[in-house]
Amino acid sequence: MFESAELGHEVDKASYREEALRLREALLTAQLDLKQRGEFPVVIILAGVPAAGKGETANLLTEWMDPRHIATHAFGAPTDEEAARPPFWRFWRVLPEKGTIGILFGGWYADPLWHWDDWDEPRLARRIERIVRLEKMLADEGALVFKFWLHLSRDKLRQRLKALEGDTRTAWRVTREDKRFLKEYDQRIEQCRELLTRTNLADAPWRVIEGWDTNYRNLSVAGQIHDAIMHQLGRETVSQNRVDAAPLVHSIDGVRLLDTLQLEHSMTKARFKDRLELAQGRLNGLMREVAQRKLAVVAVFEGMDAAGKGGAIRRITAALDARQYRVVPIAAPTDEEKAQPYLWRFWRHLPPHGRLAVFDRSWYGRVLVERIEGFASHAEWMRAYNEINDFEAQLVDAGTIVIKFWLAIDSDEQLRRFKEREATGYKRFKITDEDWRNREKWDDYVDAASDMIERTNTPYAPWHQIGANNKYHARIAVLDALCDAIEQRLKQED
Amino acid sequence: MFESAELGHEVDKASYREEALRLREALLTAQLDLKQRGEFPVVIILAGVPAAGKGETANLLTEWMDPRHIATHAFGAPTDEEAARPPFWRFWRVLPEKGTIGILFGGWYADPLWHWDDWDEPRLARRIERIVRLEKMLADEGALVFKFWLHLSRDKLRQRLKALEGDTRTAWRVTREDKRFLKEYDQRIEQCRELLTRTNLADAPWRVIEGWDTNYRNLSVAGQIHDAIMHQLGRETVSQNRVDAAPLVHSIDGVRLLDTLQLEHSMTKARFKDRLELAQGRLNGLMREVAQRKLAVVAVFEGMDAAGKGGAIRRITAALDARQYRVVPIAAPTDEEKAQPYLWRFWRHLPPHGRLAVFDRSWYGRVLVERIEGFASHAEWMRAYNEINDFEAQLVDAGTIVIKFWLAIDSDEQLRRFKEREATGYKRFKITDEDWRNREKWDDYVDAASDMIERTNTPYAPWHQIGANNKYHARIAVLDALCDAIEQRLKQED
């Protein structure tokens, strides 16, 4: 959920000035149009780690827009009046009316995060269910619901608190609670991740923004609000090159999750052979234990064309007996599959206990190729993130180890491999016109894959991004990660 | 949930023959059309109390339709293959494809009912959440999902099991499990009610059918399937006089929940005065305890025009100090209220701890007048049942006692009161043209109110149907029920 918001996004001063001027005017126009039409309200929830800029963001929005039609609400300890009524009463009383904008600090998320440790799971689950229902109702009533999570990595949070404390003018802003958050950062962030994943609705998705650089934060938040209001008003969005709606993970500074991955590694063929033998032996032993414990394994391979999925998969299967595994290649759905919900064709190939199923491409096609090519509607691929998370949770609950690989190469490497395939007789079947067409949509795929990793990188079914310009390295990295994941799960059984 | 299915519905032989012939042909035509269009699948879940006719219903549907495009699936103990995969795998493998019909015995509801006592609440909640998500996904994918609950009251179940056991040809059909269900009937039915309420989705509502009379059951089930398929295919439904979609509670024999209520009672004025004094004293005492315990009370009044809501409310408020209560009359929403989600105008009037709020008409307008007059769309009022149940659950969780009254008079009594109002100077303000217009829609209101009571009669916020042809009786019955409800809640506090 937070991967893209730890990349060190920045926008330089000159670009900011220019863009801010333009955006500010556009946002004001959108707001006035919203008010004039009076057809739906806009609810903006600002949440996030401490000192990530929630207050500054609220101030910015109020400053940039007409203050008569935008109001900010913070929720401290309940007032007497509030305490005497159901917990959500305080939110209902400040809901913005149609045509207006309400900014809610923390909104209905502050409570569950605050009480995460002292509420038991049924209570927490009930509250989360109520939040989901409330947002569903708001969306059904036509409200535009923004949920911004302003994020800082642990290091950045430490730096920020230190800087604030070091200046007498700002030291008062650092609370004891902020320091506690920093101290318990890993644990607290896991709670946040769980809450965000469980409340990441198709109609009201979380928008995670890195809170470090003010310029980047301002343009990201204001830009997304502008685009979505314009979209809802039925106008063209400012970002022209989007098919359907605003992208989920904005990258206004051109820095994207997948762009930051190290792609080059060195590994000689000899070293590869040594390590391969070791890793395959290890996998073979582990799979026998998997069978004994009645567990199962699902390995998912995604990546750009020619990223080396097939080669990595063959190094896995070579370690196993043919009865232990099944490779499921996913191409376009058959007629029979088209006549079913899209997850159906994956359910039918789930491995029984003791087996490994390797998916060469997978259910993630819904949020990659189907999203990009428009085979799935915006609503369809937006709800797919939740459906997929739920699907994988069911697998894990039933004793399946789920591991997902994104094999990453850069555009030059892909070109080199495409040309090599065309030149090599026995590889020529691997390259088609479609591959060349997909290559032209490289950037769309990077956007979609970044969203995908952000929104489906769950603790129970994590993504492994593997730099794969060097095939040897990639194959070993895949085998090692697979073995580690199995080993970790087996340890839990002990 | 089961109120309408304990009324002793029956269809006589001659009517059945005629109607069955017509319906059978219509259903077959609908099925062939469904197949030819191939646009969506139909999932029929048959659940219910034992011996209520699930098997017979499946047989009937298969017999009436083209068996090539309809399949029935039962789920016993999981097979080896099923046990080695996630619990829902067995359902995914039998989902009907577009254009076809799948009948699922018990479907995904058999498991939670079976394990209700041995699963803990988090596990149960997780499973229910998965069911809700599965059905939401099916609906989003365009599937038509029927969930039939075939119901028998305890007496009828006892009779049915006795009859089956008494005949050597059918005695084998009565299992030990069936007998256990009868023995633990009340407790089991409460579990069923909770499960149904928690899974009663706008896109996939439960349809509860009395299972006693075969003729009634057959026509009800087949009729609803036919109407909904035709509706989904975009054609006119067979039942002509419906505005939007098939009604939720069919009453093909003309017997409706509200029609069966006893409306006449005798109570003299003298007796009324005695009892009134007693009841008002009791209420006054109880409200003081309510304040001490930091509880609150919400009393909702609904009913036909001139049913005596105002009179009953005045007998409540007369018992109290003006600071203890507030009467909230609900008319058409103001502009400000229209600019908010429909529940907003009720949230704002919730009583704080220690107070009583009396709603003279209420949020139920959404599923009564707004449904009937078309002020709310079909989707809007269908989702309102859940939103209302959730709203009331929030009140109860926060220490509010919620009690709901439906004051019932018959059409003759209403006419008498209307005329009396017109004739009496000081009552003339109470009668308007709108009252006369509403009167013409009497039957629509009875249908809508029956649906409403069925779907919102929760254990935590029950409906009280009060026969109100005799005003004295009604006022005392209201006061007594209110006092009982408060007393019961106070006892839980001890």
Last residue of a domain, one of B255, B271, B290: B255
Residues above pLDDT 90, as percent of chain B: 53
Indicate yes or no: CB of A340 within 8 angstroms of CB of B95. Answer: yes
Q: Does B336 touch chain A (CB under 8 A)?
A: yes
Q: Does A270 touch chain B (CB under 8 A)?
A: no
Which two structure tokens, joined as six digits, stand for A334?
A: 């058959």
Q: How many separate helices (H) and strands (E) can be counted in chain A?
A: 20, 10
**Nearest CB to A86 within list B98, B122, B395:** B395
Report residue A73 CA to chain centroid gap: 28
B77 contacts B18 by C-beta, under 8 angstroms? no
Could you read off the pLDDT of A185-216 as tens digits, one per residue?
Answer: 999 999 999 999 889 887 888 999 999 999 99
Last residue of a domain, one of B255, B271, B297: B255
Q: Tell me the chain A residues in contact with residue B130 when contact means C-beta distances shorter than 8 Å.
A: 390, 394
Same domain for A251 and A277, yes or no, is: no
The residue among A69, A137, A363, A380 with the most chain B CBs within 10 A of its CB, best to mutate, is: A137
Residue B210 has pLDDT above 70, yes or no: yes
Indicate yes or no: CB of B383 within 8 angstroms of CB of A98. Answer: no
What's the confidence (pLDDT) of residue A243?
33
Q: Does B166 touch chain A (CB under 8 A)?
A: no
Could you read off the pLDDT of A363-384 as tens digits, one per residue?
Answer: 999 999 999 998 988 888 988 9
Angle at B485 between CA B481 and CA B489, to 5 degrees: 170
The count of C-alpha atoms lying within 13 angstroms of the C-alpha of A457, restricted to the half-sphere facing its C-beta, is 18
Q: Tell me the chain A residues in contact with residue B124 when contact means C-beta distances shorter than 8 Å.
A: none
What's the confidence (pLDDT) of residue A241?
30
Q: Does B394 touch chain A (CB under 8 A)?
A: yes
Last residue of a domain, one of B215, B239, B255: B255
Least confident of A246-260, B422-436, B451-465: A246-260
Same domain for A240 and A295, yes or no, is: no
Going by C-alpha positions, the residue among B117, B138, B119, B118 that lies closest to residue B199 is: B138
Q: Does A342 touch chain B (CB under 8 A)?
A: yes
The domain tally of chain B equals 2
Indicate yes or no: CB of A85 within 8 angstroms of CB of B138. Answer: no
How close B390 comes to chain A (CA, Å)? 8
**Nearest CB to A350 within list B85, B122, B379:** B85
What's the confidence (pLDDT) of residue A249?
52
A464 contacts A275 by C-beta, under 8 angstroms? no
Dihedral angle, C-alpha B170, B175, B180, B186, nearest 10 ° = -50
Residue A121 has pLDDT above 90, yes or no: no
Q: Tell me the chain B residues in contact with residue A87 when contact means C-beta distances shorter than 8 Å.
A: 394, 398
What's the confidence (pLDDT) of residue A248?
55
Give the number of other Cβ atoms within 10 Å of residue A419's Cβ: 11
Q: Mean pLDDT in chain A?
A: 88
What's the confidence (pLDDT) of residue B279?
94
Indicate yes or no: CB of A141 within 8 angstroms of CB of B341. Answer: yes
Residue B286 has pLDDT above 90, yes or no: yes
Same domain for B343 and B305, yes or no, is: yes
Q: Tell me the chain A residues in contact with residue B41 when contact means C-beta distances shorter than 8 Å.
A: 339-340
**Nearest CB to B341 within list A138, A339, A383:** A138
How close B89 comes to chain A (CA, Å)? 7
Could you read off the pLDDT of B342-369 as tens digits, one per residue?
Answer: 899 999 899 988 999 999 999 999 999 9
Residue B105 has pLDDT above 60, yes or no: yes
Could you read off the pLDDT of B395-434 as tens digits, one per residue?
Answer: 998 899 999 999 999 999 999 999 988 887 777 777 788 8
Q: Does A461 touch chain B (CB under 8 A)?
A: no
Same domain for A364 and A477, yes or no, is: yes
Which two structure tokens, joined as six digits, stand for A176?
A: 């004891």
What is the band of B246 on the pLDDT scale with cuts at 50, 70, 90? very low
What's the confidence (pLDDT) of residue A250?
56
In A263-380, the DSSP E strands lie at 296-303, 325-329, 356-360
Indicate yes or no: CB of A340 within 8 angstroms of CB of B294. Answer: no
The residue among B39, B88, B92 with the most chain A CBs within 10 A of its CB, best to mutate, is: B92
**Nearest CB to B344 within list A92, A294, A380:** A92
Which residue of A lies nearest to B340 if distances are taken between CA atoms?
Answer: A97
Same domain for A205 and A348, yes or no, is: no
Q: Tell me the chain A residues in contact with residue B344 when contact means C-beta distances shorter than 8 Å.
A: 92, 95
A95 contacts B341 by C-beta, under 8 angstroms? yes
Q: Does B99 touch chain A (CB under 8 A)?
A: yes
Q: Does A81 touch chain B (CB under 8 A)?
A: yes
Q: Does B335 touch chain A (CB under 8 A)?
A: no
What's the confidence (pLDDT) of residue A236?
46
Same domain for B378 and B317, yes or no, is: yes
Q: Does B84 touch chain A (CB under 8 A)?
A: yes
What's the confidence (pLDDT) of residue B386?
87
Residue B240 has pLDDT above 60, yes or no: no
Same domain for A188 and A205, yes or no, is: yes
Q: What is the CA radius of gyration of chain B?
A: 24
C-alpha to C-alpha distance for B365 and A51, rounded to whole angstroms: 46
Contacts of A276 (CB under 8 A, 6+ apart): A315, A475, A476, A479
CATH of the domain at B130: 3.40.50.300
The residue among A92, A293, A337, A392 with the most chain B CBs within 10 A of its CB, best to mutate, is: A92
Residues above pLDDT 90, as percent of chain A: 52
What's the confidence (pLDDT) of residue A238?
38
The residue among A34, A81, A85, A353 with the most chain B CBs within 10 A of its CB, best to mutate, is: A85
How close B221 comes to chain A (CA, Å)? 25
Bridging pattern class, strands B206-210 and A296-303: unpaired
Whose tokens are 């109390």? That residue is B49
3-state secondary structure at position B199: coil
Could you read off the pLDDT of A141-176 as tens digits, one per residue?
Answer: 889 999 999 999 999 999 999 999 988 888 888 889
A350-364, B258-272, B426-440 — most confident range? A350-364
Of residues A378 and A46, more confidence is placed in A46
How close B421 comes to chain A (CA, Å)? 39
Indicate yes or no: CB of B84 within 8 angstroms of CB of A129. Answer: no
Q: Mean pLDDT in chain B?
A: 88
What's the confidence (pLDDT) of residue B251?
67
Q: Does A140 touch chain B (CB under 8 A)?
A: yes
Could you read off the pLDDT of B466-480 as tens digits, one per residue?
Answer: 999 999 999 999 999
What is the band of A245 on the pLDDT scale with cuts at 50, 70, 90? very low
A37 contacts A234 by C-beta, under 8 angstroms? no
Same domain for A235 and A330, yes or no, is: no
Same domain for A337 and A475, yes or no, is: yes
Rounded to 5 degrees, what are φ and ψ at A44?
-115, 115
Indicate yes or no: CB of A133 within 8 angstroms of CB of B387. Answer: yes
Q: Does B98 touch chain A (CB under 8 A)?
A: yes
What's the confidence (pLDDT) of residue B479?
96
Residue A359 has pLDDT above 90, yes or no: yes
Same domain for A249 and A294, yes or no, is: no
How close A55 comes to chain B (CA, Å)? 26
Q: Does A344 touch chain B (CB under 8 A)?
A: yes
Residue A237 has pLDDT above 50, yes or no: no
Going by C-alpha positions, the residue among A170, A72, A86 that lies closest to residue A134 is: A86
* pLDDT, average across residues B29-49: 92
Contacts of B23 (CB under 8 A, 6+ apart): B219, B222, B223, B226
Same domain for B156 and B284, yes or no, is: no
The count of C-alpha atoms lying within 13 angstroms of the C-alpha of B195, restricted to the half-sphere facing its C-beta, is 26
For residue A239, what are the CA distances in angstroms to A347, B136, B215?
37, 32, 61
Which residue of B lies nearest to A384 if distances are taken between CA atoms?
Answer: B137
Question: Which residue type occupies A104?
Answer: L
C-alpha to C-alpha distance for B111 and B104, rounded to whole angstroms: 13
Bridging pattern class, strands B70-73 and B101-105: parallel
Indicate yes or no: CB of A95 within 8 angstroms of CB of B340. Answer: yes
3-state secondary structure at position B250: coil
Least confident of A64-78, A360-374, A463-477, B104-118: A64-78
Same domain for B273 and B247, yes or no, is: no
DSSP state of B78: P
How close A338 comes to chain B (CA, Å)? 9
Structural domain span for residue B118: 3-255
Residue A428 has pLDDT above 80, yes or no: no
* pLDDT, average across residues A46-72: 90
Which residue of B lies nearest to A122 if distances are taken between CA atoms?
Answer: B122
Of residues A113 and A249, more confidence is placed in A113
* pLDDT, average across residues A382-398: 90
Contacts of B309 (CB under 8 A, 6+ apart): B301, B302, B303, B360, B361, B407
Q: Tell me the chain B residues in contact with residue A380 when contact means C-beta distances shorter than 8 Å.
A: 140
What's the confidence (pLDDT) of residue A246?
44
Q: Tell me the chain B residues in contact with residue A460 when contact means C-beta distances shorter than 8 Å.
A: none
Bridge partners (DSSP) of residue B206 are B147
Helices (H), A349-441: 369-373, 378-397, 411-423, 433-440
Contacts of A21 (CB under 8 A, 6+ apart): none
Which residue of A lies nearest to B395 if distances are taken between CA atoms?
Answer: A86
Contacts of B297 (CB under 8 A, 6+ apart): B287, B290, B351, B355, B356, B357, B400, B401, B403, B482, B486
What's the confidence (pLDDT) of residue B184?
95
Indicate yes or no: CB of A336 within 8 angstroms of CB of B400. Answer: no
Which residue of B lies nearest to A40 if distances are taken between CA atoms?
Answer: B339
